[in-house]
Structure 1
Amino acid sequence: MARVIHPIAGAIALLTISFFWLSTVSSELFGSDALVVTVKTMIPWGFLILIPSLMAAGGSGFLLGKGWRNPLVSVKRKRMPIIAGSGILILIPSALYLSFKAQAESFDAGFYIVQTLELIAGAVNITLLSLNMRDGLRLTRKRPALRDVSN
């Protein structure tokens, strides 16, 4: 079951974070203040999708990687604390703060400093999750059968 859950949950998490990031950038660059308020208000509601998908990806990944000695598994394991830590310590608090500030239409220096920090941490998480997906695909890729090359 973990073999089915892991790639689906990981893809949902990556797509959700990417959607948050792209929505934020596009609303800030091309949208009105009202659009920024809407995006910043909706992102915390997206946690209802993001957090369970990250938990499912992490838990199923832990189960799948148990006992593996492959270097790719080790690299994926090392990325996960960074992904989780930045999410818990930076991204979630930033999203809640920015939602509160946007709903108050308080687009001050504090808003933009936290917005910049959130975009940087989000880009890092997108990159790390993408690398984990790439490595996961490498781990599951079918290897060609060995051929007998003796004559």
Structure 2
Amino acid sequence: MRIIHPIAGALALIIIATFWMATVSSELFGSLDAVAAVKTGIAWGLLLLVPSIALAGGTGFLLARGFRNALVAAKQKRMPLIAGNGLLILVPAALYLAWAANAGAFDSTFVTVQIAELIAGAVNVTLLSLNMRDGLRLTGRLKPVALSRRAA
């Protein structure tokens, strides 16, 4: 579990960040065909993303058993937000956007859902990054930032 958890968490973070960057790039610089290809790729990518997040969450839950630590508590508080955001916003948005893009329906609904997906994706990248930072601190691979006093 100590190997699976960080790999699954890092994979989830990389996948979501890649989806986000591909979306922004295709929307800003690509053709409508490129947007449709990205949206289709993201929909298929859910087959890797959803299990990686579930695996990270499940192994994290098991690793956290018995720990009483502020970093563990912070990670545990973020996970329901990450999962809820993914299941309630990101997955449905990805499936709708893939369908709409392939149907050529680049209308106001598409744009609205796309904006919601980008916001939700940025939130999940942020939350997963914070979880990774805290996990690295828990394992001692990342030292806490020391606060220094300025000379008066």
Question: TM-score per shorter chain, which class?
Answer: over 0.9
Scaled by the length of structure 1, the TM-score of the pair is 0.92
**Same amino acid, percent of matched pairs:** 64
* Residue identity in the other structure for 2:25: S
Where does residue 105 of structure 1 map in the other structure?
A: 104
Structural RMSD (CA): 1.3
Q: Deviations over 1:121-144 (max 9, x none)?
A: 000000000000000000001699
1:26 maps to amino acid: S
Other-structure match for 1:68: 67
Verify the 8 A CA contact 2:97 2:114 in the aligned structure 1: yes
Unmatched 5+ stretches in structure 1: 145-151
Alignment-derived partner of residue 32 in structure 2: 33
- Summarize deviations over 1:37-63 as a string: whole Å, max 9, x none: 100111111011101111110011001
What's 1:119 paired with? Answer: 118
Tell me what 2:11 maps to.
Answer: 12
**Contact kept? 2:82, 2:128, Cα under 8 Å:** yes
**Runs ≥4 residues deviating over 6 A:** none
- SS of the aligned residue for 1:3 comes to coil
Aligned mates of 1:136, 1:143 — CA distance in 2: 9
| Aligned residue identity for 1:25 | V
Q: Provide the rounded CA distance (Å) in 2 between the counterparts of 1:23 and 1:80.
A: 24
Distance 2:74 2:128 in 1: 12
Residues 68-77 or 40-49, more deviating: 40-49
Indicate how the Cα distance of structure 1 residues 73 and 109 shifts in structure 2: closer, same or farther if over 3 A, else same: same
Aligned in 2, Cα 1:91/1:143: closer, same or farther, shift over 3 Å?
Answer: closer
Counterpart code for 1:121: A
Q: TM-score, normalised by structure 2?
A: 0.92
- Distance change (3 Å), C-alpha of 1:142 and 1:120: closer
- In structure 2, distance between residues paired with 1:54 and 1:121: 15
Q: Which residue of 2 aligns with 1:147?
A: none
Q: Secondary structure at the match of 1:69?
A: coil
Determine the C-alpha separation between the residues in 1 that align with 2:50 and 2:102.
Answer: 23
Paired residues, number: 143
